Amino acid sequence: MNYPFDVILFDVGGVLLTNGWDHRERAAAVAQFHLDPVSFEAHHNAVVDAWERGAIDANAYLDAAVFFEPRPFSREDFFAFILSQSKLLPNGALGIVGELAASNLCMLGTLNNEARETNDYRFAQFALRRYFKVALSSCYVGLRKPDPAMYRRALEIFGAPPARVLFIDDREENAAAAANSGMQTIRFEGEDALRSQLRGLGVW
């Protein structure tokens, strides 16, 4: 029996690890550093797209989002706090990824939105490159999910028929955009549910 997929792509934040710099993590930063939440979110939203697409670096992000006025803390302390928010996701899919990688039956990759500095840290800290042959992170390809161009780029890179590519993401809008590109998709809702869904698709 033929294996059902040539490529299986995973999101990282919300599937394998915690979201590195989502609203919960930013709320924690607001409390830790006594920031004005409305001002911080406005400045963050103005530049996060460029940061995650690799158009600006972490220093430019910090200048625009945090250090546009004097602060009683350093950028090093603030960025260290950002990195500290990355943890293994409870009930996440990293164990499944390890089993799929060991089977060597298809190519595994990531398709995730992440700024370069945090993405590189997360891949190194959690040794993700031992599992994945390719990382199609937004900071590397200059596109962000759920932009349809992100999924087209992935399909062009792999050269696989869309139906032979499976994408797993915790956000409905990202999974829906992948499905519109022709990929098969699973919305991640925990390790046990994913195992069952993969079994149903013939992966196990």
Domain range for 144 is 7-17+89-200
**Could you give the dihedral angle defined by the CA atoms of residues 69, 73, 77 and 79, in that order, rounded to the nearest 10 degrees?**
-10
User: CA 138, CA 160: separation in Å to the nearest integer?
Assistant: 20
Going across the sheet that includes 184-187, the strands are 134-137, 107-112, 7-10, 165-169, 184-187
Task: Give the number of domains in the chain.
Answer: 2
Q: Write out the two tokens for 132.
A: 């994945």
**Same structural domain, 78 and 94:** no
**Same structural domain, 125 and 193:** yes
0.85 exceeded by pTM: yes
**Same structural domain, 188 and 94:** yes
Model confidence pLDDT, tens digit, residues 116-141: 999 999 999 999 999 999 999 999 99
**Same structural domain, 98 and 55:** no
For the chain, list residues with pLDDT below 70.
1
